[in-house]
A and B are shown apart, each in its own frame.
Chain A
Amino acid sequence: MMNINGKRLKSALLFSFMLVIAACSKKEDPTPDFQEENLAPLSVEFDNIVGERTLTFDNTGSPYRNAAGEAFTVSRLQYFISNIKVTTAAGNTFTVKQDSSYFLIKGDDKATRFAKVKVPEGDYTNLTFTLGVDSLRSTMPIDKRTGVLDPAAGGGHDGGGMYWGWNSGYIFFKFEGNSNVVSDDANGDPTGKKQMKYHIGFFGGYSAPTLNNIKVINVDLRTAGIAKVRKDRQSNIHLFVDVMKVFNGKNSFKIAEHPNVMFDDFTAKIAANFLEMFRHDHTEN
């Protein structure tokens, strides 16, 4: 009795194993024809990290340390992702409809880490998106500024708000924290709280050209896994967003020297570092 059951169990296991193999086999999953209307779900996950560590807020017990050796903690991280575009190996591109293509990623709210869009079924080798809010949307009438783009969203710009009233435009990237290297004078934090604040915006101006810190990020998905978008599943492009690059990117700087960067030419130096921040880790298909 025991023996028979054991044999049955073995064959059942073997059969299941074969099924699993079959399911895994990519040969059974032909690339669908690219049809603009044949939409299926795709998500892009913005997984915030700090160098070799995960992002934890206000971890004063084990602060992060930048390349200059300055210890710091993070108290706020928020940024806009917009204008998502995907490209297949064959060169077919699809740009997500603008009205469905603005996302505010908030480091303290895990639910916001996915930018969920619909794109045609297909195998995508390339992902493009904007860090920030494009200039067209930045100059649109108030009616078009809804959801995360509502100037009232998130409270004032001193808090979680991402809109500048006095110089109409959005803050693209808001990164705040604390570091003991911040001075207590007017160049640092006169409140003595050792706060560092990086509010990076500037879309290029309404009428005359001004600083433009909008960054278009292009991610090649071929190394870490292409996105196979199908109607019956949720393809997820998992990106690491390394905020350490704010300090350690090609325009590296010291917190002590630039503890507050909001509205001056130095924002452009930091914005250039954004290009290094995004790294494709893997894709879940």
Chain B
Amino acid sequence: MRGIGRILATGIAILFVAAACGGATTTTTASATASASPSKPKFELASFMYSLQTKGKLRIGTQEDNFPFSVKNPATSKWEGFDVEIGRELAKAIFGTGGDVESNIEWVAVTSATRIPSLTDNKVDVIIKTFTINEDRKKQIDFSDLYFKTGQRILVKSSNTTIKEAADLAGKNVCAQKGSTSEQNVTKATNGAAKLLLLDSYPACLLALQQGQADAVSTDETILFGLVKQDPTTKIVGKYFSEEPYGIGVKKDAGNDRNGFVPFLNTWLAGIIKDGTWAKLYEKHITPVAGDKKQNPNG
């Protein structure tokens, strides 16, 4: 109980300080906007982007160990990866390219399970973390348009020549994370003929694969990239047998507190795809593991 009390007390203290700082910035920004540097984008006063700009911080939620999308480099403690750079582009679009973009970003580490709560509890402004857009999630939060498209594929040992497509999984031991959509997709693709080994994590699945206790591991291609990096004696096979479109997650616009944010994100995304920034990021982060090049998320 004492620990909880202390956490609560710290939380309240932080709130007070935050409120005090918030008040201070609002008063100073009145003059700041008057003499705003020309490189800063201009937003409507009522928009969420304007309030971010005046606060000077964008809180981006992403995962610390989600290669090749977001990794906090343990040696340099710098954030790297495709999702991370998308986040930096977003910060540039809000705060302008004048200053150091990193100073406008507050990185918040999240996991798959904490993505939605951190948005609804207003702990982050955006979630950029291999976040699949689907109907169930749309009931709780808003998504931008998709900025990345992947799907479910199959990981097998390099020596395996019998499993080539999802249909070949029938009668085989297939490992997937318990309670994931991946598990349901395997069941669908094989009409329930695959024998599912359901573990709590993908590294455990990789172990089972290495020992021959599982014949294949199946989930989003992006996660499989990470596993292949850990164990180069495995390979990814087959076409996509599910579609996983990734979007940027934001809190629902309740009482105008996210005014104009999703339309802004969509325009900005279309912009960085059109001007080739997206293709450059893809080539830098995804091409080394996937081997292909893309001009846009659908290409």
Question: Bound pair: A and B?
Answer: no
- Which chain A residues have a beta carbon within 8 Å of chain B's beta carbons? none
